[in-house]
Amino acid sequence: MTTRYSAFSLFKEGLAGQTGWQPAWRSPEPKLSYDAIVIGGGGHGLATAYYLAKNHNITSVAVLEKGWIGGGNTGRNTTVVRSNYYYPESVELYGLAHRLYEELSKELNYNVMLSQRGMVNLCHSTGEMEIGARTVNAMQINGIDAELFSPDDVRRVAPIYNFSPDARFPVFGGIWQGRAGTARHDAVAWGYARAASRLGVDIIQNCEITDFIIEGGRCRGVQTSRGAIRAERIGMAVAGHSSVLAAKAGFRLPINSYALQACVSEPVKPILDTVVLSPGCGVYVSQSDKGEIVIGGGLDRIPSYAQRGNLPTLEGVIAGLLEMFPIFGQLKLMRQWAGIVDVVPDSSPIIGPSSLPGLFLNCGWGTGGFKAIPAGGTLLANLLATGEHNHISRPFDLDRFASGRLIDEAAGSGIAH
């Protein structure tokens, strides 16, 4: 059976009629107990299980997913990978994720289709350029590649933008990160699932958490739709449903869940080879490897778990897109969807122990979850394995809301959230 992907194995399987490939990951029945349980089969949950096995040699791990692998936010985002954040704590966190992404295809033996095509955050006024200059300076001081662009620089990387003299949102310049880009969302989930499974992790799909097993004031396992499963260490990485599971465990989180919509056009020939974000229009856009124009915008500020989104928000995003790129007005939209994001007061994630001993949190990523998957998995795995914070995760502990030591990255998304 062929277990490693390579040009040679592809050639060999071609000669053998493609009969020797193994399933990408195992689908075993759940055991009664494990050393650790990870709730959530999206990118963060699968990465946590992988790094538990790889970095800490803990292979008796179950990933419990109520649906199918990568079927939640991981399969519903706009695939942008970047680390151009402002505060040093955020730079360490997203910088770690970015570095891991750059080696991820090789490490997982699975092509995650990372395309470092660059990203430009546009500035539409003199005041925005002043803020942009300070932001670039802060990023450079913190070790992040960043450059302040002039209008000519923006025209060079995005020549189809609306540069007309009467444009509603004229370009005064922008903030450029050349290492930014996109990755294939389902490939990231599948790559982590395959690698974790090969190290002995059990991936259990269609396994919904119905309750927590609490004994002696400590979390000892979970009740699921497939029976009770016990473990002394449990990690929770369920994005927009974090507050729902926290309620089952008997505590509250400072989280509101919102729908974040996106859409794609019909595929066209290559026309946009970078990621463009306009804070003024409230829109960011890129072109996928298949040729689709991938379009995203701001949150629908009505708390909701409806993954279909709504038309008024979509209309606002499309209006902004056409201000940026009038040429896109002739395209047809192919599909539209929403993901459920978990937003906290300072727009930074929560990584650390919960108020229930034995249960650890990876949540509150808001709109930044996909780009942080490798770091979120690494840090939650470290917490589960050691019970202690890594220096990168320590500032994002839940206790910051009691101490007031917030990391206000509300502008880190580039769009007011």
Q: Quick one: pLDDT at residue 413?
A: 58
pLDDT cut 70: percent of the chain above it: 98
Token pair for 318? 């499309």
> Is pLDDT above 70 for 304?
yes
Pairing of strands 61-64, 181-182: unpaired
With cut-offs at 50, 70 and 90, classify the pLDDT of residue 306: confident
Coil, strand or helix: which one is 232? coil
Residue 417: predicted pLDDT: 47
Q: State the burial class of residue 386 (Cβ atoms within 10 Å of its Cβ: 0-12, 13-18, 19+).
A: exposed
> Residue 376 has which token pair?
């979120």
* 25-38: average pLDDT: 96
Amino acid residing at 386: T
Q: Whole-prediction pTM value?
A: 0.95
Lowest mean pLDDT among 174-178, 310-314, 319-323, 330-334: 310-314
pLDDT digits (tens, 9 = 90+) for 166-222: 999 999 999 999 999 999 999 999 999 999 999 999 999 999 999 999 999 999 999
pLDDT (0 to 100) of residue 414: 55
* Tens-digit pLDDT profile for residues 114-123: 999 999 999 9
Mean residue pLDDT across the chain? 94
DSSP 159-219: TTS---TT-SS---EEEEETT-EE--HHHHHHHHHHHHHHTT-EEE-S--EEEEEEETTEE
Residue pair 249/255 in contact (Cβ under 8 Å)? The answer is no
The β-bridge partners of 293 are 287
Q: Is residue 407's pLDDT more than 80?
A: yes
Q: What is the pLDDT of residues 356-398, one digit of tens each?
A: 999 999 999 998 899 999 999 999 999 999 999 999 999 999 9
Decide: helix, strand or coil at residue 344. coil
State the pLDDT at residue 3: 82
